Amino acid sequence: MSQERLTMRKIQEVLRLKWASQLSNRAIARSCSISHSTVKEYLQRAESAGLRWPLPEPLTEDELFKQLFPERLAPNPTPKALPDWTQVHAELRKQNVTLKLLWTEYKEAYPDGFQYSQYCERYRQWAATLNPPMRLVHKAGEKLFVDYAGDTVPLVDPQTGEITQAQIFVAVLGASSYTYAEAQPSQELEHWIGGHVRALTFMDGVPLVVVPDNLKSGVKHPSRYEPDLNPTYQELARHYGFAVIPARVRRPRDKAKVEVGVQVVERWILARLRHQTFFSLTSLNQAIRQLLNELNCRPMGHLQKSRQELFDAVDRPALHLLPATPYEFARLKTCRVNIDYHVEYNKHYYSVPFTLIHAEVTLRATERTVEILHKNRAMATHPRSDAPGRYTTLSAHMPVRHQKVLEWSPERFVRWAEDIGPATTQMIQAVLAGRLHPEQAYRSCLGILSLAGRFDKPSLENACQQGLAAHLRSYREIKGLLETQCADSVEGLPAHDNIRGKQYYQ
């Protein structure tokens, strides 16, 4: 109850007790808990106004107040200019704009306007009428909120009829609520990263901060103070120049903007697609993009402006430029260089400089290349190969003695064998032909030909002739024949104290 209404009721009670009950002023003062001088003042004002008890029936409290206190009725003041709170709310989203600055500009335009405290109070009262998430003030170009929608969209395989669920990636700018959405096969890392790249391309700029939920694809270990980000996600952030600040665990207000955005996407896009059947991600994303454009161009009820209008006026000018090339998705792997100066990725082996043997390196694999880094310095780059068990090797990575091996060829081994004899030549040709890849036979050929130095050329030629007849095709088998020949020749020698026969070894 206001003070004026309370005062008027006491005045009426004073008049009743004086004129109807005939009480003294002091008795009336004790009854109404006021001073007797106040009782005297009220009675004098009533006499001056010509009032008696009972008061006229249609007399209201306001009319009674006007008759008793005419000196308090000042002329109506000129109404103060009321700011456009919608415009104030929009201006607060711009960088470095504060309520103090907006009030200063307001006072320059309206010197008789509200003082700063009243200006702030009236703005808070207006902002309280908005939806709770909208009370947060987001600076222009500052934050992009990203998450996956809870709802999914079924995709039907046209050949098998199998149904899979497409995940819906959503990104929302904080200041304008400008929204991006797309369907993805899963929430795996490569799709999570690809969603960011396409969202930034759609918005044609880069914000200062990206706020994800604590999805495993982006945040390896959630923490309130020092969340551990996925290395690929960190690399994406460095490429575009934004910071990643994950929402705190169990702090829904940290991601309220994207939760509202997800809800809007679910209600205004996914719900409208519920009666359609999609057979591919491409057709689904085409339908989402059409409805997404409608969503961004639809006026928001609380601000009477569309997301597109706010984006063009507020967020777009504050976003940073996109880099010259979009980020190419890469998987990062930490590994140690093997003794053969190769590292493994997806069962294929890639060379690094031999000086890095046993060193820990970072392997960065994109769709087309494999790059090996040591202490953030690129040491080798190879075309990516998915052939399992095979090697991609650069001669510059080899020690000098290993580089000589590259000079080997089937023709060179055949020429070497021709210097020994036709049987050796046929043996080398047979060994080379017996392997799927000639390189796999090089070591066997080298071993067989080296036997000519350990024994002699005629002996090797004879052993190869026997080996061809017996279908022997390996270094060990030819070596065994030569050792047998050598032992037989020892038996045919004359007796001598320094010559041991086969019986010596029995």
pLDDT score, position 235? 85
Could you give the C-alpha distances from 129 to 85, 103, 299, in angstroms and in order? 11, 21, 18
* Contact present, 428 and 410 (Cβ < 8 Å): no
* Contact present, 480 and 473 (Cβ < 8 Å): no
The predicted model gives 243-251 an average pLDDT of: 67
Check residues 1 and 145 and name the one with the higher pLDDT: 145
Residue 111: pLDDT over 70: yes
pLDDT score, position 195? 93
pLDDT score, position 202? 94
* 488-503 pLDDT tens trace: 665 554 555 665 555 5
User: What are 168's strand-pairing partners?
Assistant: 183
Chain position carrying tokens 């500052």: 142
Residue 61: pLDDT over 50: yes
Token digits for 373? 């880094």
Q: How confident is the model at residue 464 (pLDDT cuts 50, 70, 90)?
A: very high
Q: What does the mean pLDDT of the chain come to?
A: 81
Check residues 256 and 96 and name the one with the higher pLDDT: 96
pLDDT score, position 302? 66
Which residue, among 306, 311, 310, has the nearest Cα to 294 in the 3D structure?
A: 306
- Percent pLDDT > 70 in the chain is 82
pLDDT score, position 2? 53
Q: Which of 384-393, 435-444, 478-487 has the lowest mean pLDDT?
A: 435-444
Burial label, 455 (beta-carbon count in 10 A; 0-12, 13-18, 19+): middle
Task: Give Cα 297 distance to the centre of its chain.
Answer: 26
Residue 83: pLDDT over 90: no
The predicted model gives 427-449 an average pLDDT of: 80
* 172-186 pLDDT tens trace: 988 888 999 999 999
The predicted model gives 4-28 an average pLDDT of: 78
Which residue, among 237, 253, 231, has the nearest Cα to 196 in the 3D structure?
A: 237
Q: How confident is the model at residue 133 (pLDDT cuts 50, 70, 90)?
A: very low
Give 319's DSSP letter. S
Residue 404: pLDDT over 90: no
- Percent pLDDT > 90 in the chain is 21
pLDDT score, position 11? 81
pLDDT score, position 228? 46
Distance CA 506, CA 490 (A): 16
Q: How confident is the model at residue 117 (pLDDT cuts 50, 70, 90)?
A: confident
The predicted model gives 380-406 an average pLDDT of: 78
* 300-329 pLDDT tens trace: 876 678 889 889 988 899 899 999 999 888
Three-state DSSP class for residue 272: helix
* Contact present, 210 and 199 (Cβ < 8 Å): no
pLDDT score, position 223? 38
pLDDT score, position 164? 92
* 345-361 pLDDT tens trace: 888 889 999 888 889 99
Contacts for 29 with CB less than 8 Å, ≥ 6 apart? 35, 36, 38, 39
The predicted model gives 404-414 an average pLDDT of: 73
pLDDT score, position 224? 40
The predicted model gives 97-108 an average pLDDT of: 84
Give 441's DSSP letter. G
* 179-229 pLDDT tens trace: 999 999 998 888 999 999 999 999 999 998 888 876 555 454 443 433 446
Residue 293: pLDDT over 80: yes
The predicted model gives 278-289 an average pLDDT of: 92
Contacts for 467 with CB less than 8 Å, ≥ 6 apart? 427, 473, 477, 478, 481
Distance CA 103, CA 107 (A): 6
Distance CA 86, CA 103 (A): 14
DSSP assignment of 349-370 equals EEE--GGGTT-EEEEEE-SSEE
Three-state DSSP class for residue 386: coil
* Contact present, 314 and 90 (Cβ < 8 Å): yes
pLDDT score, position 225? 34
Q: How confident is the model at residue 453 (pLDDT cuts 50, 70, 90)?
A: confident
* Contact present, 25 and 36 (Cβ < 8 Å): yes
Give 305's DSSP letter. E
Check residues 386 and 475 and name the one with the higher pLDDT: 475
